[in-house]
């Protein structure tokens, strides 16, 4: 089995575990065909690309990170690329905190994407999915504890 195939499978498995939400920003992601995503969340042209589901290495491959379940999560293309564009790549926890803070401040995804979050947390019933509270603090909780 070729290596990229393993990674693709890992990505899908992790995405499903994460309810298809980005590991960092918690926005919904699409994989393969963008049409259903675009239909479900109202079409927004030019912005679909950033929500493509990608495999994110928590420890970057160049630092010896492996293609394993422990090291790979599903993240949207934008979060993934932005993290690795940083001069000092933040740790997953620090980056996640950074991303959530930026979202609350309206400085991450463009404001026309923010309805994705609303839909995700109890929008029209045909698109609402059971949300697991596991290790993810909902955005509203971060907002409350953040104070600024
Ligand atoms: Zn993201």
CB 18 within 8 A of CB 93: no
Rounded distance from Cα 92 to ligand 1 centre (Å): 12
Percent of the chain with pLDDT over 90: 54
| Residue 110: inside a domain | yes
Cα 124 to ligand 1 centroid, rounded to whole Å: 22
Assess if residue 112 is contained within a domain. yes
Domain that holds residue 83: 3-124
CA pair distance 113, 27, nearest whole angstrom = 9
Average pLDDT over every residue of 27-46: 85
In a domain, 45, yes or no: yes
Calculate how far, in angstroms, residue 93's C-alpha sits from the geometric centre of ligand 1.
14
CA of 77 to the centre of ligand 1 (A): 7
Which residue from 69, 96, 71, 68 is spatially nearest to 82, judged by alpha carbons?
96
- Give the tens place of pLDDT for each residue, 62-98: 889 999 999 999 999 999 999 989 988 899 999 999 9
Which residues lie near ion ligand 1 (Cβ < 5 Å)?
22, 24-25, 76, 79
Q: Which two tokens stand for residue 103?
A: 């979202």
With bands split at pLDDT 50, 70 and 90, how would you rate the model's confidence at 124? very low
Q: For the whole prediction, is pTM greater than 0.85?
A: no
**What does the pLDDT average to over 26-53?**
88
In degrees and rounded to multiples of 5, residue 144 shows phi and psi of -70, -40
Across the chain, what does the average pLDDT equal?
82
C-alpha of residue 94 to centroid of ligand 1, in Å:
14
pLDDT at 4: 74
State residue 125's pLDDT score.
42
More confident position, 56 or 122: 56
140 in a structural domain = no
Residue 117 DSSP one-character state = H
Residue 81 CA to ligand 1 centre (angstroms): 10
What is the CATH number for 90?
A: 3.30.40
For residue 25, the model assigns a pLDDT of: 96
The count of structural domains within the chain is 1
Which band of pLDDT confidence, cut at 50, 70 and 90, is reported for residue 43? low
């Amino acid at each position: 089995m070729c290596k990229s195939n393993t990674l693709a499978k890992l990505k899908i498995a992790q995405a499903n575990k994460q309810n298809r939400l980005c590991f960092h920003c918690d926005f919904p992601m699409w994989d393969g065909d963008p049409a259903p995503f675009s239909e479900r969340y109202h079409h927004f042209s030019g912005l679909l690309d950033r929500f493509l589901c990608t495999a994110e290495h928590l420890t970057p491959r160049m630092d010896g990170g492996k293609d394993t379940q422990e090291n790979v999560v599903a993240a949207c293309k934008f979060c993934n690329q932005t993290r690795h564009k940083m001069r000092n790549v933040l740790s997953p926890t620090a980056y996640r905190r950074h991303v959530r803070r930026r979202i609350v401040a309206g400085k991450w995804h463009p404001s026309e994407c923010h309805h994705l979050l609303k839909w995700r947390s109890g929008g029209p019933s045909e698109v609402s999915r059971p949300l697991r509270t596991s290790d993810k603090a909902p955005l509203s909780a971060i907002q409350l504890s953040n104070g600024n």
